[in-house]
């Protein structure tokens, strides 16, 4: 059985083979900020294996927010 969470897909834990993932996030003081500017930041999300607790994947949902406004892609 594979689990789907928003835009990401993780099918199997590489450590224990588990197939159930829990989506978690780290905000506030655990937020990620670009090294080029220290203002603000974005939450860091993790896919955690429900069986062994390993963090299988870490990501930010909108990497463009790590760039300065003038450097972001226009949509």
Query: Per-residue pLDDT tens for 23-49?
Result: 988 877 777 776 666 666 788 889 999
Query: Per-residue pLDDT tens for 48-66?
Result: 999 999 999 998 888 877 7
Q: Where are the beta strands (DSSP E) in 1-75?
A: 3-5, 8-10, 21-26, 44-49, 55-59
Bridge partners of 3? Answer: 10
Give the pLDDT score at 35: 67
């Amino acid at each position: 059985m594979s689990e789907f969470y928003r835009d990401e897909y993780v099918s199997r834990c590489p450590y224990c083979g588990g197939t159930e993932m829990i989506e978690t996030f780290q905000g506030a003081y655990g937020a990620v900020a670009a090294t080029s500017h220290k203002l603000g930041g974005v939450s860091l999300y993790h896919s955690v294996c429900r069986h062994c607790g390993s963090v299988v994947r870490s990501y930010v949902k909108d990497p463009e927010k790590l760039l300065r406004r003038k450097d972001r892609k226009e949509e």
